[in-house]
Amino acid sequence: MQAIHDQEEATMEEKLEETLRKLAAGQERLENRTEDLGASVGELTRVVRELTGVVRELAERQANTDRMLGELTGAVRELAERQADTDRMIGELTRVVRELSEHVARTDMRPERIDGRLEKIDKRLEDVHLVATLISIDQRASNSKLDLVAKAIEEIDDVVLESKAKDQLPFSLKEDILDLKVLDKDFVCHIISAAEDKGVLTKAESNDVGKADIFAFGFDKKTGDLVCLAVEVSATIGKNDITMADRRSKLFAKAVRHFVENEPDKWEKMRKMVYPNHH
């Protein structure tokens, strides 16, 4: 019996040792798996951290995109408003040019006198067209461009007004001056230059009288004397215009008097060109 009992105890001890070995092996495997799991958790944490950074960057980019879209929308709206302003100004400019063209067409001027004027008007209209193009290209410069347009239109009006004044001048002064003739600028320039060369007129006086719009000769209705006129043409006449015209007329008469006295042959030739029937 004792032998059997001892054998059973030995068997139980062997089983217990086997169980303990298995338990130790299981513990070792568990520890290894725990280490692997820890490494996996660390890797997962790193990935989550990187993903969080990516999400944050994406959110920032989306915010920047929204901001830029907002700015772009504002810029498009502003551009549309500027384009509308440009279209409105070009329409107004077109209307003014059309009215001006109609006014020029209605003006009664003799063909032989208007060729040069029409060339000048065409040039001004080209300038106006160029300005309109510049306005449509760059609205930011619209103020200066519109000033240039206004100046061009004003100069065109001056050309038309001056041409009309030349035709009307003999009728306007017929009560005081007979046989009034508007002079060619080359004719006048020759007389003024001769006076300046001889010191009869200073350079400043020569430049001043040369700026007159119209020069004319006529004969005083009462005395029959030759009358020299330097005429200022303006849509509005003020005191300064009258003073300036009087001053320039006197300077022109001074230059003519010198020319008559010192170059009688040339004067006679010029006089016959202006008044072929006067002796």
Tell how strand 214-220 and strand 226-231 pair up. antiparallel
Provide the pLDDT for residue 196: 93
Are 103 and 160 contacting, i.e. CB atoms less than 8 angstroms apart?
yes
CA distance 276 to 271: 7
Cα–Cα distance for residue pair 221/227, rounded to 1 Å: 10
What is the dihedral angle through the alpha carbons of 61, 66, 67, 73, rounded to the nearest 10 degrees? 140
User: Per-block average pLDDT, block size 10, for the chain (279 residues)?
Assistant: 71 81 82 74 68 69 71 65 68 63 55 54 51 46 44 46 61 78 85 91 92 85 84 73 86 88 80 67
How far apart, in whole angstroms, are the C-alpha atoms of residue 188 and residue 18?
A: 139
* Residue 242: per-residue pLDDT: 82
Residue 182 sits at the vertex; the CA angle it makes with 176 and 183, to the nearest 5 degrees, is 130
Q: Is 179 helix (H, G, I), strand (E, B) or coil?
A: strand
Asked whether 232 and 187 are in contact (CB, 8 A), the reply is no
Nearest Cα to Cα of residue 162 among 243, 104, 228 = 104
Domain boundaries of the chain, sorted by first residue: 84-161, 175-274
pLDDT at 47: 61
- Partners of 177 in the β-ladder: 220
Which pLDDT belongs to residue 131? 47
Asked whether the beta carbons of 134 and 145 are under 8 A apart, the reply is yes
Instruction: Encode pLDDT of 210-248 as tens digits.
Output: 888 888 888 888 888 888 888 877 766 677 878 888 898
Residue that is written with structure tokens 């100004």 in the block: 89
